[in-house]
Amino acid sequence: MKKAMYSVITVFFIAFTSVYAQENKNVHKETVTKKVTVKDTKVDTKVVQEVKEDNEVVKVEGTNEQDQNAKVITSKSGTSEQVVADEVSVDAGNAEKIMQNRNRMSEELKASIQNQKAEAEKRRQILLKKKMERQKELEQRRQELESRPDGMAKLKKDD
């Protein structure tokens, strides 16, 4: 009875495995890591991983024949993005350089403004001096015109 039972179980096992098809699964994962940084004094470092997954299933019919045709079924599951690290930091070196540049530019601007004010004052003094000279010349000419020889009558002003 034991032999019969073992033989029935063996036949059942062989029949069971030959009925179902064989499958071979291959999974290809492609991971792309991106690192994003922003320049200036604020450095934003963000590490993002993109995972692309391709599933290949090779199916073979469940018969005992050799050299069977295999079906390859390829399915692409979508890409998934995952943020691994997200850091925000301040770059002290860049901040210091920016402050130095701003200070230098403000000093240059102040110096330029002072130079322009000095030049404008010089021009104003020159124009004032020329105006005074013209006033003197005008007064001198007026006196020459008003001084008449002895025999001539004095000029009268019209009202």
Give me the domain span that covers residue 77: 20-61+68-90
Question: Are 103 and 86 found together in one domain?
Answer: no
> How confident is the prediction for the chain on average, in pLDDT?
78
For the chain, the domain total comes to 2
Question: Are 81 and 96 found together in one domain?
Answer: no
Judge whether 12 lies within some domain: no
Question: Are 122 and 72 found together in one domain?
Answer: no
Question: Are 28 and 54 found together in one domain?
Answer: yes
Question: Are 53 and 25 found together in one domain?
Answer: yes
Judge whether 50 lies within some domain: yes
Judge whether 76 lies within some domain: yes
For residue 84, what are its two tokens?
A: 């691994």
Question: Are 78 and 112 found together in one domain?
Answer: no
Round to whole Å and give the CA distance between 29 and 52. 6
Judge whether 46 lies within some domain: yes
pLDDT at 19 over 60: no
Question: Are 86 and 102 found together in one domain?
Answer: no
Long-range contacts of 36-44 (CB under 8 A, 24+ apart): 39/94, 40/91, 40/94, 40/98, 41/90, 41/91, 41/94, 41/95, 41/98, 42/88, 42/89, 42/90, 42/91, 43/88, 43/89, 43/90, 43/91, 44/87, 44/88
Judge whether 11 lies within some domain: no
pTM for this one?
0.39
Question: Are 33 and 78 found together in one domain?
Answer: yes
Judge whether 39 lies within some domain: yes
The 10s digit of each residue's pLDDT in 76-130 is 777 777 777 777 777 778 788 889 999 999 999 999 999 999 999 999 999 999 9
Question: Are 82 and 28 found together in one domain?
Answer: yes
pLDDT at 64 over 70: no
How high is the pLDDT of residue 144? 82
Judge whether 54 lies within some domain: yes
Question: Are 55 and 77 found together in one domain?
Answer: yes
Judge whether 159 lies within some domain: no
